[in-house]
Structure 1
Amino acid sequence: MKETAKEAARQRKIYMILIIILIIVLTVLGGGYYFMMQTKAASQKTSGKNSDDQSRTSQTSGSDTLEYKGGTYRYNDHLSNYLFLGIDTRNSVDTYQTQEDAGQADAIFVVSMDRATEEIKVLFIPRDSMTEIEVFNPSGKSLGESTDHINIQYAFGDGKQKSCELMKIAVSNLLDGLPIQGYCSMNMDGIPVITDFVGGVQITVPDNSLEDTYPEFKEGAVVNITGENAEKFVRYRDTDKTQSALVRQERQKTYLQALIQKAQEKAGEDAGFVADLYDSIKSYTVTNMGNDVFAKLLTASGNGITDTETVPGEGKQGKNFDEYQVDKDALSDLIISMFYEKIQ
């Protein structure tokens, strides 16, 4: 009986670490398939909506409730919200010191866990979302707030905790003050490390988005993905084309599916494999989330992800770069539906 209990505990630990790794991989890939599909869904939901003076939330003075479109709502205080970030830098995070080292957040999403129902929801935030961020000079002095791409907020930190804290504030502000209890970020060097650690993966190229630049990735070709070519396959995009970040999503889904399958096979063969895999990428991650948090995420993950959404808006060509113009009215609707409970 004791041996059975020990084995069950060992398996829980293995699966917990596997959940951590898969969440981080999804992060650094830029949200993958969920982002692509939810962007389409968000566009359909928000099309034809008009601005409404009542569409922004209004907190009732001295109360934990708010009035919204004729109803009264209370924040669901059973929720714990965690921010995940994929960063476009390299090398061990221990070497980072200044803004020059920090990089930008290539992928941004919030994982919301309901501790009462043990359900998980995910909210994706397009990296080019235009919002208020705090700007700092190179010596770290605040220059006030400016409307800019949310992903560059990370660049005004140190590439470690400060950058994550700045993103936590910017994301919370974008989401009408949503509480965020923790964060986890990972940089690009984690991709080849993970790929090589599982021994590489074999994929069938899903589309022709890479063929002109890399002929070996012709649509339908069966290719071995290793640490040497993994980043090329999952991250390359033609920056001269508007909204090109969305084009690579199908390749990322293909890679992630193959990686999960290979990792599961390896974990079945070697009980210590997943823990060793996690250890191999720790140098490229920054987090303030303890093992207890990931253990709770593990439990909740058994029920699957009950809802995946994207901050509603529209991608447009800006003066110099792509911009994602957030639909603030539709975003308020979404925040209410995901994080609040109607009480009357």
Structure 2
Amino acid sequence: MGTEAGSGTRTVVLTVVVTMLFLAVGTGIATWAFYSRLNRNLDSVGDIPHLVDEPEAKDEGQGPKQPLNILILGTDGRDCKGCSIDGEGGSGGSDSTILLHVAADRKSAYGVSIPRDALVDRPECTAPDGDTIPEASDVMWNQAYSVGGPICTARQTELLTGIPIDHYIALDFAGFRGMVDAVGGVKICIPEAIDDKEHNIFLPAGTRNLRGKQALDYVRNRSSTPNADLGRMRRQQYFLTALATKVLSAGTLARPSRLAAFATELSKSITTDVETVAGLAEMAGEMRDVDPASIEFETVPNRAFPTGDPHWGRLEILPEAEELWQRMLEDRPLHDPAAAVTDPSSPTSPRSPKESATTGDPQVSTSPEKRPADAVSPEDKEKDAADNGLCSPA
């Protein structure tokens, strides 16, 4: 994950969500009984009725494959055991959304995060009980999950991006807590003490090993830490990176019982269209040549609606996002390494949105920049970390 991963700009989300099941099978702990138990734990609510045409399948013998687009969701329901840690009821919406694009050659991947408070159009969906959910305009991104589950969110993603979603994987907070405890906690650097009396969340500053409720506190808190939801999204990426590092460490991989506990908690905590552990293992196996440290992460270009606007407190996805979606459709890299440095105030490209705190508005405006990936100065990295409640990168 490297230095930039520590600040949340790179992540190995899929490693956390999928690869551990693959490793569990490959490390000798997957007896028939264990394998069957993992299968029983998986929750699948069906395939995605696509809004956009899927590309025609190519010959996968010696030729290239199609790109793989996986929707990864973190849900904020509080009705599971141990989930109501902040006194909030939760709406069962998608607290975090990442669209992971895996290149057709399976050599590289990148993720694009969509903020929960972004206003979008929602297509017609079918609720889990079979009722029809009508289409709607200017609704919060995370509402699709609360009314129609991951399938509705996948259709909403297709409507927004024009990209066919191949798979979805949703992770709930109860399982997240169990996964962290299964590996003995995760070491996290907290730059300033978190003192949120309203939600009973208190975390001292410094580098410490977070487990159980403290881990949930860290990834859920937003009202008393920088940059509100966008900052929380960055800290969640940072935590997932640290969790993946812990899972992939010798201390976990060399202990089958710990790895089995992690795989068990993970399988109990995800909802996916992939119905078996074997299917998840197959999907993870397709990514075996992707270097986890090279997986880049970016937030879709967006800005906060100004004070006084009827949509104040929500986010607008900027037109520059269209180029980002086009890159995915054409299976191009996230960034053009040959791109020239231009005026950062000129929003001409979906290049790494800059997130900085604003005064008065509960959300943060983000302006896309066009610059090579290695052109971000140490000062910019430090400011970005401070703006989002992260320790400065080493």
Structure 1 pair 259–335 and aligned structure 2 pair: CA distance change class (3 A): closer
Quote the offset at 1:224 in angstroms.
3.9
Q: Is there any run of 5+ residues in structure 2 with no aligned partner, and where? A: 1-11, 20-55, 57-63, 82-88, 333-394
Structure 1 pair 248–77 and aligned structure 2 pair: CA distance change class (3 A): same
Asked if residue 193 in structure 1 is aligned to residue 183 in structure 2, the reply is no
Quote the offset at 1:148 in angstroms.
0.7
Q: What's 1:131 paired with?
A: 120
Match of 1:211 among 195, 202, 206: 195
| Partner Cα separation in structure 1 for residue 331 and residue 253 of structure 2 | 42
Q: Which residue identity is paired with 2:322?
A: S
Secondary structure of the corresponding residue to residue 118 of structure 1: coil
Quote the offset at 1:259 in angstroms.
3.1
> For the Cα contact (< 8 Å) 1:103–1:154, is it kept in 2?
yes
Quote the offset at 1:139 in angstroms.
7.7
Q: How does 1:1-344 map to 2 (within 5 A)?
A: 20=14, 22-23=16-17, 78-90=66-78, 103-134=92-123, 140-157=131-148, 163-175=149-161, 177-208=162-193, 210-211=194-195, 213=197, 217-220=203-206, 222-238=207-223, 243-248=227-232, 251-252=235-236, 255-263=239-247, 264-289=249-274, 290-291=279-280, 292-297=282-287, 299-302=288-291, 304-305=293-294, 307-316=296-305, 319=310, 322-328=313-319, 330-340=320-330
Structure 1 pair 243–324 and aligned structure 2 pair: CA distance change class (3 A): farther
Q: Deviations over 1:29-76 (max 9, x none)?
A: xxxxxxxxxxxxxxxxxxxxxxxxxxxxxxxxxxx9xxxxxxxxxxx9
> For the Cα contact (< 8 Å) 1:190–1:281, is it kept in 2?
yes
Q: Please tell me the root mean square deviation across aligned C-alpha atoms, in Å.
A: 3.8
> For the Cα contact (< 8 Å) 1:84–1:184, is it kept in 2?
yes
> For the Cα contact (< 8 Å) 2:67–2:104, is it kept in 1?
yes
Quote the offset at 1:110 in angstroms.
0.9
Q: What's 1:14 paired with?
A: none
> For the Cα contact (< 8 Å) 1:235–1:248, is it kept in 2?
yes
Structure 1 pair 24–103 and aligned structure 2 pair: CA distance change class (3 A): farther
| Partner Cα separation in structure 1 for residue 240 and residue 72 of structure 2 | 17
> For the Cα contact (< 8 Å) 1:206–1:254, is it kept in 2?
no
Secondary structure of the corresponding residue to residue 123 of structure 1: strand
Quote the offset at 1:144 in angstroms.
3.3
Q: What's 2:3 paired with?
A: none
Identical-pair percentage: 21
Secondary structure of the corresponding residue to residue 298 of structure 2: strand
Structure 1 pair 182–212 and aligned structure 2 pair: CA distance change class (3 A): closer
| Partner Cα separation in structure 2 for residue 254 and residue 327 of structure 1 | 25
> For the Cα contact (< 8 Å) 1:24–1:84, is it kept in 2?
no
Which structure shows the bigger proportion of residues in helix conformation? 1
Which structure shows the bigger proportion of residues in strand conformation? 1
TM-score (norm 1): 0.64
